[in-house]
Structures are given as C-alpha cells and as structure tokens.
C-alpha cells in the first residue's frame, strides 16, 4: 500500500469514527432528554387534573353563592372563596402551559433555567394554596356541606365569629408570606433551595437531576 493510499484510508477511518461518535452522543442526548420528558409527564397530568378540580369546585360553589347573593355572610366568606378557587385554577393552568411549552430541542442550559423557574412557580403556587386554605377552610367546608345537603350551614354561622375566623386566617397568611419572602424567595441559599426541592414535587426533582446529568455529559464532550 502506497503512503497516499494509507493516508486516504486513515482519513476515511477517522471520518467514520467521528461520525459514529457523533451518532452515539446524539443518541445519548436523546435518551437523557427522553428521561426528562418521562419524568415531567406526571407533573403535566397533575396540573391538568388540578385545573379540572378547580373548575369543578367553582361549579359547586358559584350556585350556592348566587342563591344567597344579598346575604352578608355569603358575600364576606363565599366571595373570596370563589376568587381563591379561580386563582388556584389559573395558577395550575399557568404551570400546565409552561410545562407543555418546554423546548427539548434547545440548549440544555435554557431547559435547566426553564425547569428551575417552573420549580419556583410551583413553590409559590403551593404556598398560596396553603396560606389561602388557612383563611378559607371554614367557608369552604360550610359551602361544600350546603351544596351536598341543601342545609344552609353558612347562613347559621354568627357573622362576628365568621369574621373573626377570617381575620385569624388573614393573620396567618400575612405571617406565612413574610416568612417565605424573608427565608426562601428573597435569596435562594442552600436552606431555601432545600425547601423548594422538598415542595416542588418528585417529577421536577427527577427532571432536574436528569438535566444536570445531561449538562455534565455535554460539558465533558465539549472539553
């Protein structure tokens, strides 16, 4: 074999090797992205279920409020309850859309950033759901009881006692919001990040882990 023939064969072999490595890297990237999609599938389904449940709750609550629209108890307690349920549905719909709009074909750093933003949004949604529950658990229970039985339970509650209960819930809401702003949302330090990790759900934690693995893989190959 002449030297030129040898060089040509070696060059062809190198090209085939580079092509094979590129195919392997692409396949591994697609595999890891597939894991991310699979991890986020339950998250998307849960958000869709939350939207459906919020709408169903509104369909139960609104007729009761409409039937007692001129009564102070229902205006004071039932009105905020309807707004709360609508807000829960809107936040879940927002998270659902953000989950569906993730771009798996773009840079992994962008995907990591988008997932991290969803995690923070998920934390805030859960925070407001819990804090709002402190305020409206009693009206929610009474209105649901009335919708199921026809007994006007909320109408039988003394208005001062109902207002006091709501005021206590608002105090707890303000305290919880202040603590969240100070210790979690203002600066995501290690402790705050552990809180967000714990509350953001398994699906988002798993997706974040797979994305970190993909980012390490791409970094090693670029290096």
User: End-to-end CA distance of the chain, in Å?
Assistant: 36
pLDDT at 192: 64
Confidence of residue 7 (pLDDT cuts 50, 70, 90): very low
By the 8 A CB rule, do 196 and 187 touch?
A: no
Cα-based distances in Å from 77 to 65, 128, 159, 176: 10, 17, 10, 21
Condensed to tens digits (0 to 9), the pLDDT of residues 30-65 reads 777 888 888 888 889 999 999 999 999 999 999 988
pLDDT at 11: 54
Condensed to tens digits (0 to 9), the pLDDT of residues 119-169 reads 888 888 888 888 998 888 888 888 888 888 888 888 888 878 888 888 899
pLDDT: which is higher, 222 or 212: 212
pLDDT at 65: 87
Q: Which stretch of DSSP H or E encloses residue 172?
A: helix 159-180
User: The tokens 């773009």 sit on which residue?
Assistant: 106
Q: Which of 147, 130, 6 is nearest to 68 (CA)?
A: 147
The C-alpha atoms of residue 75 and residue 150 are separated, in whole angstroms, by: 18
Q: Rg of the Cα trace of the chain? A: 27
| Window from 6-15, 28-37, 86-95, 157-166 with minimum mean pLDDT | 6-15
| Window from 54-58, 97-101, 181-185 with minimum mean pLDDT | 181-185
As a whole-number percent, the residues of the chain with pLDDT over 90 amount to 17
């Amino acid at each position: 074999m002449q030297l030129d023939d040898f060089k040509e064969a070696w060059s062809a072999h190198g090209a085939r090797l580079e092509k094979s490595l590129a195919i392997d890297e692409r396949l591994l990237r697609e595999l890891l992205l597939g894991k991310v999609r699979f991890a986020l599938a339950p998250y998307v389904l849960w958000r869709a279920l939350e939207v459906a449940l919020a709408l169903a709750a509104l369909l139960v609550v609104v007729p009761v409020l409409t039937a007692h629209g001129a009564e102070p108890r229902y205006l004071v307690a039932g009105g905020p309850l309807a707004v709360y349920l609508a807000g829960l549905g809107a936040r879940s719909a927002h998270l659902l859309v953000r989950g569906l709009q993730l771009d798996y074909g773009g840079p992994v750093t962008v995907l990591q950033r988008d997932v991290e933003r969803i995690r923070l949004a998920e934390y805030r949604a859960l925070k407001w759901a819990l804090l709002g529950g402190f305020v409206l658990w009693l009206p929610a229970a009474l209105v649901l009881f009335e919708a199921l039985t026809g007994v006007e339970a909320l109408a039988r509650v003394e208005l001062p006692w109902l207002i006091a209960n709501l005021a206590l819930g608002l105090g707890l809401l303000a305290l919880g919001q202040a603590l969240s702003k100070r210790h979690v949302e203002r600066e995501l330090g290690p402790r705050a990040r552990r809180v967000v990790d714990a509350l953001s759900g398994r699906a988002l934690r798993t997706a974040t882990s797979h994305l970190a693995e993909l980012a390490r893989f791409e970094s090693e190959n670029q290096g």
